[in-house]
Amino acid sequence: MCHHDRGYTIPVNLRNREETEIRRRSTMPAVAATTVDGILKKLKDLTPLIEAHSDEAEQNRCVSEKVSRAMLENGFFRMMRPESVGGPGLDPVTCFRMIEEMSRTDSAVGWNVALANGFEPFGAWGSKELVLSVMSSDDTVLCGGFFPPRKAVKVDGGYRLSGRTQFNSNCNAATWICGEALVFESEDASEPLKYESGAPMTILTFFPIKEAEIIENWDTLGMCGTGSHDVEVTDVFVPKEHTAPFVPLTEPEPEYAGPLHRLSIWPAIAAVAAPSLGIAQAAIDDFIELGKKVPSYTSNSLASRPVVQTQLGEAEAKLAAARALFHNTYDEMWQKALDGEYLELEDRSKCQMACSYAVTTSAEAVDLIHLAAGSSAIRNERRFQRHFRDIHVLTQHAFVSQSRLQSVGQISLGLEPEWPFFAL
């Protein structure tokens, strides 16, 4: 039975309020309001399809082919792709709100769309050949994993790539893989090459997923439908034109010369955080609907209990705070990018703080709903248990976990952050 059949459709007034906010917050001058309206309409039209296949994705641990195909055909996997590369050029903040809305309907779909869009900015590191032959294709869907880095051995014209990475979300629907690799001078070298700083030499690599093996081992507590399997390659040739030094970017190809590249990797990290807001909102939506009902063993509705009212109010406050910090921070950073500025270390710290806070605080909101829902929270026929499982899987993600706030504190104290991605 699909979620729509169970009565889990988001109340119309809440949906309309969110859509109005998405339209209002679109900050990309070049993107017409009709583009945002068109994407919103597509999302609304696809909601019944997403709901109908939600249980299937959970059971099969992979978003259904029908839903993934619909996401591709309607452009959701490339919302953040610049117009100059053939995409709609949606600004990051509006894109994150779309992702939040999708995650509100189905966490796995929202997550996979988030990750596909999160990899779009990495195209800015690519060569002209990569931009024109790969990134500009409507059929290109990116996925990838960064841990552990692969091994790239230098050969004539490029590299021989080997290695197995984890957490390749949406790999069943993707066509290209983007990832990090350590560069070795030869196959026999015991250590990677190093920069003058002593840091290991790393590159970004792009290669067709058909050249890799998907190892379907995604078996987790939550976010089950994302299909975040391991992907392995063995001695695959990657031409130099499909690689790039993974260093701070200042001079991309002209097609990526717009504001998006000035945010570097931080839209990708934000894309990881955005689904948490949708999951928390879905938990609140479901609880409000549950609160209207009167249990058979009592004459009072759940909504009439003071402790429940307090828990709901606190959950809503936490989500509102998380959402405000997240979107306001990226509004600020996007304005800097529009003004031609690159992000300073303090800006990158703000981004990390907003992303980690969004996930951890959304989890706190879901925990409150879990308590308030009582025994309804543990029944598989209701979505509360899924919200609880999903959000607590997200809290473990290395890019947005609570431990990243340690890095924020280190920067505030004038210390060197231990998280290497602050250098980008």
pTM, two decimals, is 0.91
Tens of pLDDT, residues 391-405: 999 999 999 999 999
Distance between CA atoms of residues 202 and 127, nearest Å = 16
How many other CB atoms sit within 10 Å of the CB of residue 42? 17
CB 243 within 8 A of CB 205: yes
- Count the alpha carbons within 13 Å of 136 in the hemisphere toward its beta carbon: 13
pLDDT in tens, 170-190: 999 999 999 999 999 999 999
Q: Which domains does the chain have, with CATH numbers?
A: 12-135 (1.10.540.10), 142-251 (2.40.110.10), 265-419 (1.20.140.10)
Average predicted confidence (pLDDT) for the chain: 92
| Averaged pLDDT, 360-366 | 99
Highest mean pLDDT among 25-34, 81-90, 281-290: 281-290
Instruction: Yes or no: say if 222 and 391 are a contact pair by the CB < 8 Å rule.
Output: yes
Helix (H, G, I), strand (E, B), or coil: what is residue 167? Answer: strand
Can you say whether the dihedral through the CA atoms of 50, 272, 211, 88 is positive or negative?
Answer: positive
Among the listed residues 328, 411, 395, 337, the one whose alpha carbon sits nearest the alpha carbon of residue 362 = 395
Place of tokens 């055909």: 73
pLDDT in tens, 5-57: 333 334 444 455 556 555 544 444 445 555 788 888 999 999 999 999 999 99
